[in-house]
Amino acid sequence: MNLIGQEFPQIAAIATTPAATKLLQPICQTLGATLWMPESCQQAINSTVNAEIYTDSLKNHLANIWQNYSAIVFCLASGAVVRLISPLLQDKYHDPAVVVVDEAGKFVISLCSGHQGGADKMTNVLARLLNATPIITGASHNLGLPGIDILGKPFGWRRGKGDWNRVSGIVARGEAVQVIQEVGSRLWQEHLPQNHPFDFGFPEIGDRSSPTPKARIWISFTQRQFAPDSDLPKVQWHPRVLWIGVGCERGTSKKLIATGIQQVFQANHLAEGAIAGIVTIDIKADEIGLVEFCQEQNLPLLTFPAELLSCVEVPTPSNVVAQEVGTPSVAEAAAILGAKEGRRKKEEGRRKKEEGRRKKWIETQAPTNYKYCVEGGILNPKEEDNFNSELKENTDNLSSNFQGINEGNLLVRKQIFRLEGEPGAATIAVALAQKEYTGRTGKLLLIGTGPGKLEQMTPAAQTAISYADVVIGYSLYIDLIQPLLNPGQIVEKLPITQEKERAERAIELANFGLNVAVVSSGDCGIYGMAGLVLEQLRATGWDGKIPMVEVFPGVSALQSAAARVGAPLMHDFCAISLSDLLTPWEVIEKRLNAVAMADFVVALYNPKSQKRTEQLVKAVNIFLEYRKPETPVAIVRSVYRENEEITLTSLDKLLEFSIDMLTVILIGNESTGIYNNWMITPRGYSTINN
Ligand code: SAH
C-alpha cells in the first residue's frame, strides 16, 4: 500500500543528473510517483519506476506540469529550485507542495506549501525513507505547534473565511490566541506542548487574569462575518456536523436543491463548510438532482426507510406527506436521523458500541459551552466582535425557523423551496450531530518498533509513525520513538497493562477517520498489539477493509538477542512465552515438553515477573529432562537499550542469574556451542551435510 500516496495522489519527482535519478528511484517506487528526467539520465534507471523523459527546458517543462501534481520533489540545488518555481507560484492554497532533496540524500527541505500543500509532512516521510535530516522552517513546526491552517485536517474540518496569515503570524510570535470551540473533536487540544499560546473557552466577564487575546479561532458550524478592519484577526474552522434532510418531488433539479440549501444556510448563518451530508427517504436514493448535487459537492447521501423516519418526533409533521410516502416527515426526520446515525450508518455493525461512546463523549468531551448552547440558544454570529454580550441569549437575528440547539438536535425546521423555471419542489431541514463526520477512511498502522534504538527500526515503520495522525502505545515505547513524533500529532500513552484498552481506543479513532499508529516493541505480530487489534476488529464484525490495516514488521527480541551473542538461531527454533495470563499453564507446559524433546533452539519470552516466578523453574526442569546440563544458554536483558546485559551460561546454571520481564532467554539445541564468547548453532548437522 502506498501510504502517503493517498494524501498526495499526484507526486512528481524531478532529477537532472544520473546520481539524482538513482537517488529518487526508490522513493518514486514507494510513493507511486512519476520520475521526470532528461534523456541523458535514462541509463541510470534500473528499476520498474514510472519514469518519463522531458525534452524541453526544465523551466518550460515545469510550467507545463505545475498544475498536474499535488507535490513535486526536486533533487537539485535549492537555489536553482527557487529560480525555477518563482514564476509559477500563486499562493499556498493552490501551489503544490515543493520539497528539495540534495544529491547526496543527506537533507530533505520543505520549501513551499508546508502546511496546506503538506510539504512538511512529506519532508518528514521522505527523510525517513532516505535516512536524511528533515529541514522544516515553518514557525509553528519549530514551536511544536500544529499549523493553525491544518489543525482540523485530520478531523475532516473545512477551513472557513478569515485572516489566516495574520492569525498564523500571531501564533508564531507566541502571542495569546483565543480559541472558541463549539463543536468538533478536542483531541488536538489535549496534545499541545506546555507553553502553547492558546486560551480555550469563554472568559469570565471582567476577568483580567488571562492575557488579552491578539487573535481568535472559531471552531463552529456558524458562518461568521468578520469585520475586515477589526483589530482582532480571526479565522474559522467548520467541523462537519450539519446533516441536511431533503424531501423532494420526483424530478426536482439540482439547481433548485442547491439554491434551497444555500438560502437556508444564509438565513440561519450556517456555514456550508460544516455540511456533513444529505439525508433523505430511501425511495429518493436515485433522485437525479440529489445524487448529482451530492456528487458535485462530494457529500455522502444517506437514506432511511419510511418506517424508521416515521418513528422520529418532528415539529412539523404532515398528513399529506404521510399518505404519499408512509412517513409524516421526510426532511426533518431524515435530518434528525442523519445527525444521530449519519456516521454510524457508514459503519454498519458497530451501532451499539457507538451509542456507548456517544454517551461517554457527552459526559467527558462535550464542549464546555455545550450546556450553554443547549440552554441559552446559539451565539449570534453577527455580534462576533462584541464577545461578552454574546453570552446573553440572543437568537433575534436568526430566521424564525431556527430551532436553537435542542435535544432533538434539529437546528432548522423544514422549509419548502420552489424556483421559477426549475422543475420540482424540495423541503429542507438541518440537524446538528454531536460528533463530526470526517469523510475519511481511517487506517490502523500496526507497527513493530524493534528492540529499542531507532536505528534498529525499519524505515517503513519510521515512515508510518511520522505519517500517522495518532500514535498509541505503552509509555516506554512512546518515549523511545520520541524523535520521530511531529507537532500536531495526537500521542496517547497508556499503561503497560491496558493492551486491550489500547486496541479498542485505536479502533475507535480509526473508525472516526484518523490514521492511527499502534506501536509495540520488537515485532508487533509477536506477542504484540497486532494480534489484539485484529482480534478486536474481528469481534466487532470488521469487513477486512474499513478501517484499513497495515502491519509493519519489526526486529523481535529473539533476533536482537541472537545478534548480540552470535548465531544461536541458525537452525530450527521456536519462541515460547512463559506468561500464563492469557494462556493456560497446561498448554505452555505441553509445548515446552514438545520443543525440548524435538531439540528446537528456544527463545523464552516473558520468562519471569515479580509475581510469576515458578514458571521459569518448571521450564528449566523440563528442558533438563531432554537436554544436557551444559547446553548453552544466553540471558539477554534490555537488548539494544541502555543498561543492556548479556550473560552466556548453561542450562543447569540458568536459574542462578537475575531474570525479569525485560529479559529474553535463548536455549541452544544439542549442537549449539559457545566459542570465545560467541554462541553458535551450526547451520546443518555435519552427519547430514557430509
Ligand atoms: N513484541 C515483542 C515481544 C513482547 S512480549 C517482540 O517481538 O520482541 C515482552 C517480552 O519480550 C519481554 O518479557 C521479554 O521477554 C521480551 N523482550 C522485549 N523487548 C526486549 C528487549 N529489548 N530485550 C530483551 N527482551 C525483550
Distance of CA 678 to the CA centre of its chain: 44
Cα separation, 170 vs 444, in Å, equals 35
Phi first, then psi, for residue 558 (nearest 5°) are -65, -35
CATH superfamily of 242-432: CobE/GbiG C-terminal domain (3.30.420.180)
> For residues 248 and 257, is the Cβ–Cβ distance under 8 A?
yes
Ligand 1, residues 663, 665, 666: which to mutate, most atoms within 8 A of Cβ? 663
pLDDT of residue 8: 73
Distance 546 CA to ligand 1 centre (A): 30
Q: Is domain 443-555 in CATH 3.40.1010.10, yes or no?
A: yes
Q: Where are the beta strands (DSSP E) in 449-596?
A: 470-474, 490-494, 515-520, 548-552, 566-567, 573-577
Cα separation, 141 vs 466, in Å, equals 14
CATH 3.30.420.180 domain span(s) along the chain: 242-432
- Give the SS3 label for residue 401: coil
Q: Closest residue (by CA) to atom 20 of ligand 1?
A: 557
Which of 202 and 187 is assigned the larger pLDDT? 187
Q: Is the CB of 520 under 6 A from ligand 1?
A: yes
Phi first, then psi, for residue 325 (nearest 5°) are -120, 0
Measured between alpha carbons, how far is residue 594 from residues 558, 626, 650, 652 in Å? 20, 10, 20, 19
Ligand 1, residues 457, 606, 658, 667: which to mutate, most atoms within 8 A of Cβ? 606
Q: Is the CB of 669 under 6 A from ligand 1?
A: no
Q: Which residues are paired to 301 by β-bridges? A: 278
Which of 4 and 518 is assigned the larger pLDDT? 518
Measured between alpha carbons, how far is residue 178 from residues 122, 198, 226, 382, 390 in Å? 30, 6, 15, 18, 15
pLDDT higher than threshold 90 for residue 662: yes
pLDDT higher than threshold 70 for residue 352: no
pLDDT higher than threshold 60 for residue 555: yes
pLDDT digit string, tens, across residues 220-241:
999 998 887 788 999 999 999 9
Buried b (16+ CB within 10 A) or exposed e, 182-208: bbbbbbbeebbeeebbbbeebbeeeee
Atom number, ligand 1, closest to the C-alpha of residue 520? 1
Ligand 1, residues 638, 640, 663, 664: which to mutate, most atoms within 8 A of Cβ? 664
Q: Closest residue (by CA) to atom 5 of ligand 1?
A: 527
User: CA geometry: angle at 475 spanning 471 and 480, to 5°?
Assistant: 80
Distance 561 CA to ligand 1 centre (A): 10
pLDDT higher than threshold 50 for residue 42: yes
pLDDT of residue 99: 95
> For residues 140 and 149, is the Cβ–Cβ distance under 8 A?
no
> For residues 222 and 250, is the Cβ–Cβ distance under 8 A?
no
pLDDT digit string, tens, across residues 264-312:
999 999 999 999 999 999 999 999 999 999 999 999 999 999 999 999 9
What stretches of 351-417 show up as alpha helix (H) in DSSP? 351-364, 370-376
Q: Closest residue (by CA) to atom 15 of ligand 1?
A: 605
The DSSP string of 102-123 is -TTS-EEEEEE-SSSS-HHHHH
Name the residue type at position 293. F
pLDDT of residue 9: 78
Residues comprising the chain, all counted: 690
Please, which residues have CB within 8 angstroms of residue 636's CB and are 6 or more apart in sequence?
557, 560, 561, 564, 565, 644, 645, 646, 647, 663, 664, 665, 666
Distance 659 CA to ligand 1 centre (A): 13
Pairing of strands 573-577, 515-520: unpaired
Which of 44 and 562 is assigned the larger pLDDT? 562
Distance 474 CA to ligand 1 centre (A): 13
The DSSP string of 580-639 is -SSS-HHHHHHHHHHHHHTT-EEEEES---SS--HHHHHHHHHHHHHS-TT-EEEEEEST
Cell (9 digits) for 299: 457529500
What is the CATH code of the structural domain delimited by 3-137? 3.40.50.11220
Atom number, ligand 1, closest to the C-alpha of residue 641? 22
Q: Is the CB of 147 under 6 A from ligand 1?
A: no
Average pLDDT for 97-104: 95
Q: Is the CB of 474 under 6 A from ligand 1?
A: no
Q: Which residues are paired to 110 by β-bridges? A: 99
Give residue 31's pLDDT band: very low, low, confident or very high (50, 70, 90).
confident
Cell (9 digits) for 482: 520520541
- Give the SS3 label for residue 23: helix
Q: Closest residue (by CA) to atom 11 of ligand 1?
A: 605
Phi first, then psi, for residue 518 (nearest 5°) are -110, 120
Q: Is the CB of 528 under 6 A from ligand 1?
A: yes
Distance 662 CA to ligand 1 centre (A): 6
The DSSP string of 79-107 is HHHHHHHGGG---TTTSPEEEEE-TTS-E
Please, which residues have CB within 8 angstroms of residue 226's CB and are 6 or more apart in sequence?
161, 162, 163, 234, 384
Q: Is the CB of 271 under 6 A from ligand 1?
A: no
Q: Which fold has domain 148-238?
A: 3.40.1390
pLDDT of residue 208: 55
Atom number, ligand 1, closest to the C-alpha of residue 660? 13
Q: Closest residue (by CA) to atom 13 of ligand 1?
A: 606
**Is residue 283 exposed (0-12), middle (13-18) or buried (19+ Cβ within 10 Å)?**
middle
Distance 636 CA to ligand 1 centre (A): 10
Cα separation, 128 vs 112, in Å, equals 19
Q: Closest residue (by CA) to atom 23 of ligand 1?
A: 638
pLDDT higher than threshold 50 for residue 385: no
> For residues 175 and 197, is the Cβ–Cβ distance under 8 A?
yes
Q: Which fold has domain 558-680?
A: 3.30.950
User: CA geometry: angle at 284 spanning 279 and 290, to 5°?
Assistant: 65
Treating both helix axes as pointing N-terminal to C-terminal, what angle do 614-626 and 585-597 enclose, rounded to 10 degrees? 30
Q: Is the CB of 664 under 6 A from ligand 1?
A: yes
Predicted TM-score of the model (pTM): 0.81
Cα separation, 242 vs 258, in Å, equals 15
CATH 3.40.50.11220 domain span(s) along the chain: 3-137
pLDDT digit string, tens, across residues 613-660:
999 999 999 999 999 999 999 999 999 998 999 999 999 999 999 999
CATH 3.30.950.10 domain span(s) along the chain: 558-680
- What is the overall mean pLDDT for the chain? 86
Average pLDDT for 503-508: 95
Q: Is the CB of 606 under 6 A from ligand 1?
A: yes
Atom number, ligand 1, closest to the C-alpha of residue 644? 23
Q: Is the CB of 140 under 6 A from ligand 1?
A: no
pLDDT of residue 685: 62
